[in-house]
Amino acid sequence: MDISKVASVYFLGIGGIGMSALARYFRSLGAQVSGYDRTPSPLTTALQNEGMDIAFTDDVSLIPPGIDMVVNTPAVKQDHPAYEYFRESGIPVYKRAEVLGMISAQYKTIAIAGTHGKTTTTTLTAHILTHSHIKCQAFLGGISRNYDSNLLLDDHSPFLVAEADEFDRSFLHLHPHIAVITSVDADHLDIYGNHESLLESFTSFAGNIKEGGTLIIKRGLELPLRLNADVKVFRYSSGGVCDFYPQNLRLEHGLYTFDLRYPEGLIPGLTLGVPGFYNIENAVAASACALLSGVSQRELRDALASFNGVERRFDIRINEGGLVYLDDYGHHPEELKACISSIRQMFPGKKITGIFQPHLYTRTRDFATEFAEELSHLDEVILLPIYPARETPIPGITSEWLLELISNPDKKHVGKSEIPACLDPGSLEVLVTMGAGDIDTLVKPIEDYLKQFLHTNQYKR
Q: What is the pLDDT of residue 312?
A: 85
User: Residue 458's pLDDT is what?
Assistant: 59
Domain-ending residue, one of 258, 278, 306 = 306
Q: 207 and 184, same structural domain?
A: yes
Residue 459 has what pLDDT? Answer: 44
Distance from C-alpha of 383 to C-alpha of 327, rounded to nearest angstrom: 15
Q: Report pLDDT for 189.
A: 66
In a domain, 154, yes or no: yes
Examine the domain organization and report whether 299 and 319 are in the same domain.
no
Residue 53 pLDDT exceeds 80: yes
Same domain as 328, residue 287: no
CATH number of the domain enclosing 74:
3.40.50.720
pLDDT for res 110: 98
Phi, psi of 281 (to 5 degrees): -60, -45
| Same domain flag for 249 and 125 | yes
Tell me whether residue 390 is in a domain.
Answer: yes
Of 73, 120, 163, 380, the active-site residue reads: 163
Q: What is the CATH number of the domain that holds 200?
A: 3.40.1190.10
* Residue 167 confidence class, pLDDT cut points 50, 70, 90: confident
129, exposed or middle or buried, with CB in 10 Å at 0-12, 13-18, 19+? buried
Q: Grade residue 77 by pLDDT with cuts at 50, 70 and 90.
A: confident
Considering the domain architecture, whether residues 289 and 321 belong to the same structural domain is answered as no
What average pLDDT does this structure show over 205-228? 95
Kindly state whether residues 148 and 259 are assigned to the same domain.
yes
Judgement on whether residues 344 and 224 belong to the same structural domain of the protein: no
| Residue 99, domain member (yes or no) | no
pLDDT score recorded for residue 185: 82
Q: Is residue 137 part of a domain?
A: yes
**Percent of the chain surpassing pLDDT 90:** 82
| 383: CATH | 3.90.190.20
Q: Quick one: CA dihedral 105, 106, 107, 108, positive or negative?
A: positive
Distance CA 403, CA 329 (A): 20
**Amino acid at site 182:** T
Catalytic residue among 118, 135, 218, 411: 118
Report yes or no on 403 lying in a domain.
yes
Judge if 112 and 238 occupy the same domain: yes
Residue 25 and residue 111 in one domain: no
pLDDT over threshold 50, residue 383: yes
Let me know whether 264 and 155 are in one domain.
yes
Whether residue 461 is contained in a domain is answered as no
Residue 100 falls within a domain, yes or no?
Answer: no
User: Which of these three, 43, 68, 93, is where a domain ends?
Assistant: 93
Mean pLDDT for the stretch of residues 282-303: 98
Residue 111 and residue 78 share a domain: no
The last residue of one of the domains, among 67, 93, 119, is 93
Average the pLDDT over 159-167 and give the result.
93
Q: Residues 148-161: pLDDT tens digits?
A: 999 999 989 999 99
If pLDDT is split at 50, 70 and 90, which confidence band does 171 have? very high
Q: What is the mean pLDDT of residues 337-350?
A: 92
Task: Record the pTM.
Answer: 0.88
Q: Which of 183-187, 219-223, 262-266, 344-348 has the lowest mean pLDDT?
A: 183-187
pLDDT at position 176 is: 98
Q: Is 163 labeled as catalytic in the residue annotation?
A: yes
What tens digit of pLDDT does each residue of 243-252 get? 999 999 998 8
Domain limits for position 198: 107-306
Which long-range CB contacts under 8 A does 133-138 form with residues at least 24 apart? 133/296, 133/299, 134/159, 134/293, 134/294, 134/295, 135/159, 136/110, 136/160, 136/161, 137/107, 137/161, 138/162
Residue 311 annotated in active site: no
In a shared domain, residues 119 and 246: yes
Mean pLDDT of 109-136: 96
pLDDT, tens digit (0-9, with 9 covering 90-100), for 62-76? 999 999 999 998 778
Per the structure, how many domains does the chain have? 3
pLDDT class of 461 with cuts at 50, 70, 90: very low
Quick check: is 301 in a domain? yes
